[in-house]
Structure 1
Amino acid sequence: MWPFTARAQQPARIPRVISLAPVHVASQAEGTRRILRELGYVEGRNIRLEFRDAAGNVDALPRLAQELVREGGIDVILAISTPAALAAYRATQTTPIVALTAVDPVGSGLADSLARPGRNVTGIAVFSEETTEKRVELMREVVPRALRLGTVTTKLSSGAQSLAPVLETGRKLGFTVESINIDDPANLAKALGPEVLTRFDALVFVPDALISAHMAEVIKLVGASNKPAIFPSPDWVAHGGFMSFGPDFSDANRHLIAQLDRVLKGAKPGDLPFERPTKFYLRINLRVAKELGIELPPTVLARADEVIE
């Protein structure tokens, strides 16, 4: 009986979750920890949570994902961004992956369908061509005489799925559209400097984890250019941006961790539908509008979910 009793008394194995991202965002990491605590997870007691990132080098994600899989002992990979999810999926088709993607998971090859992914990946898909189109339409309403529209991207968001809605909608509305591609976030000051932004009348930003990681600097550079810009989520306006339209990413993160919880409790990712945001917010900073000399149309103000004085 002694060997049986010894085995019975061994502590249960603690599940290990690795968060894989292109860049570390402290607020997102803390938000993940907070939501897990609300769900009853205590680090070191019933979950091991580790954060790994590529330090802004998107091209390093595949190698990093392969190293993690070779390392072994991972119960779930929490992939933040489409490139992180693709890197994880190409490294393993067996380890469960819960992903936050800004690109269509079906189009990118992560899932057979949104309703039934069918593979080892599920999560939250915050992509929406309609949302991107709406940002361009709002900018046309706010600056009706603007002609030159810039859209800011990095390697994370420079694909056709991210840019096509801006290019097509912009041209339909009479804009000349040009992409400002930031190869290295370390060169933000140059990429968004006065000599570059002076070419544009307005800017539209698409969801991009690398750009979001440098939110304060981006807002400062755009503000110095005196150009109106619309951003993809409300937190940009809370930090001094002019206007935003899109899902609340903190709410999306909450749903993402709820998906992670289901997988940890035994659900198969292939059986869990990719969720989509259901709430979209228009937030406007009136102080910035005044600094830009923009008189906002009453129709835009009436549709705003929040106006910051």
Structure 2
Amino acid sequence: MRPILLALAATLALSLPAKADDVTVAVTAIVEHPALDAARKGVLDALTAAGYKEGENLKFVFESAQGNPATAAQIARQFAGDEPNVIVPISTPSAQAVSSTRDIPVVFTAVSDPLGAQLVKNMDKPGGNVTGLSDMSPVAEHLALIKEILPDVKTIGYLYNSGEANSVSLLAVLKAEAEKAGLKVVESAATKSAEVQGAARALIGRADVIYIPTDNTIISALEGAVAVAEESKLPLFTADTDSVSRGSIAALGFNYYDVGKQTGEIVVRVLKGENPGDIAVKTAAGSDLVVNKAAAEKMGVTLPQSVLSRATKVIE
């Protein structure tokens, strides 16, 4: 009778519905701000659409490093010990922190330059346990937009964290594209959020506009830079569309909720058994133009009708 009972128990176990937390997806971001939060929501919604429902068959864990690289490293070690099914780092610093993990699949997102950040060696065949989604900004289009709004601009003030790899990579791209456009680039760095306002102030008299890339340190303290821009009538533009509602004049970029959904679709492929190293690193699809008329007025700028007419969203 004992073998029969064991066989019956095994049959019953197979027929039972999946237990809660059958799959664990561990997500981390270097800091919380609207774009990264939207990406996280997109990942979760893509998982839900694929049948992975939080509290039923999915445990969705999130940890923020609160802008601290040391905390990001601690989170990476914690996740490695917890052994989730997939780790999803949002932003370059978080992706770099978990890059030492070799046995757990990693699907990064909101990383501008995966090659420069040394996350993968090949975009088409990343190999190992890592793949993901790049959000490399369309820098040439950003400069064209700035020149369309402000035809007399000559100098671009680049406000960034010099310790953030994606911002350093974007600086190189910006300099190359600015030279083609006949523009000069002036840098001002802030290595932590408390320095952002001072770094923005350092551009007064040295630049015609402030341009902020998808830099998590700067964006997390954007209001400080906006206050300087409004006070000094120094037009401020961002690469991050979610920052326009917070006081940037305009941004041409990705909808980060959609970026998250695209990332989540890659996570689903991994959960279904694909090897991350065999999945090509993709560049995010889609490009939104968001403008803020009120912010423009505060900085002494009138948005041309050509920009307003094609904007995806206009904030009054």
- Quickly name the TM-score band, shorter chain normalised: 0.7 to 0.9
State whether structure 2 residue 90 is matched by structure 1 residue 49: no
Aligned to 1:24: 32
Question: Cα gap change, 1:160/1:217 in structure 2, threshold over 3 Å: closer, same or farther?
Answer: closer
Q: Deviations over 1:139-180 (max 9, x none)?
A: 233223333321111232565421112223334434332222
Superposition pairs of residues 1-309 of structure 1, within 5 angstroms: 1=3, 2-6=5-9, 9=12, 12=19, 14-25=22-33, 27-28=37-38, 29-69=40-80, 71-90=81-100, 92-128=101-137, 131-154=138-161, 155-157=163-165, 160-193=168-201, 196-309=203-316
TM-score (norm 2): 0.83
Instruction: Give, as a single letter, the amino acid of the residue that structure 1 aligns with 2:213.
Output: V
Contact 2:296 2:302 in 1 (8 A): yes
Give the root-mean-square deviation of aligned CA atoms. 2.8
CA–CA separation in structure 2 for the residues paired with 1:40 and 1:270: 24
What secondary structure is seen at the aligned counterpart in 1 of 2:141? Answer: helix
Structure 1 unaligned residues grouped into runs of 5+: none
1:232 Cα shift?
Answer: 1.3
Structure showing greater relative contact order (alpha-carbon pairs closer than 8 Å, 6 or more residues apart): 2
1:18 Cα shift?
Answer: 1.1
TM-score (norm 1): 0.84
Instruction: Give, as a single letter, the amino acid of the residue that structure 2 aligns with 1:20.
Output: T
CA–CA separation in structure 2 for the residues paired with 1:174 and 1:240: 27
1:237 Cα shift?
Answer: 2.0
Contact 1:136 1:204 in 2 (8 A): no
Contact 1:112 1:119 in 2 (8 A): no
Instruction: Give, as a single letter, the amino acid of the residue that structure 2 aligns with 1:188.
Output: V
1:76 Cα shift?
Answer: 0.6
CA–CA separation in structure 1 for the residues paired with 2:65 and 2:306: 43
1:242 Cα shift?
Answer: 0.6
CA–CA separation in structure 1 for the residues paired with 2:199 and 2:215: 16
CA–CA separation in structure 1 for the residues paired with 2:32 and 2:244: 21
Query: 4+ residue runs of structure 1 moved beyond 6 angstroms?
Result: none
Aligned sequence identity (%) = 27
Aligned residue-pair number: 304
CA–CA separation in structure 2 for the residues paired with 1:123 and 1:88: 13
What secondary structure is seen at the aligned counterpart in 1 of 2:94? Answer: helix
1:280 Cα shift?
Answer: 1.4
Contact 1:242 1:284 in 2 (8 A): yes
CA–CA separation in structure 2 for the residues paired with 1:189 and 1:160: 20
What secondary structure is seen at the aligned counterpart in 2 of 1:189? Answer: helix
Instruction: Give, as a single letter, the amino acid of the residue that structure 1 aligns with 2:84.
Output: I
CA–CA separation in structure 2 for the residues paired with 1:112 and 1:227: 40
Contact 2:213 2:240 in 1 (8 A): no
What secondary structure is seen at the aligned counterpart in 1 of 2:159? Answer: strand
Structure 2 unaligned residues grouped into runs of 5+: none
What secondary structure is seen at the aligned counterpart in 2 of 1:192? Answer: helix
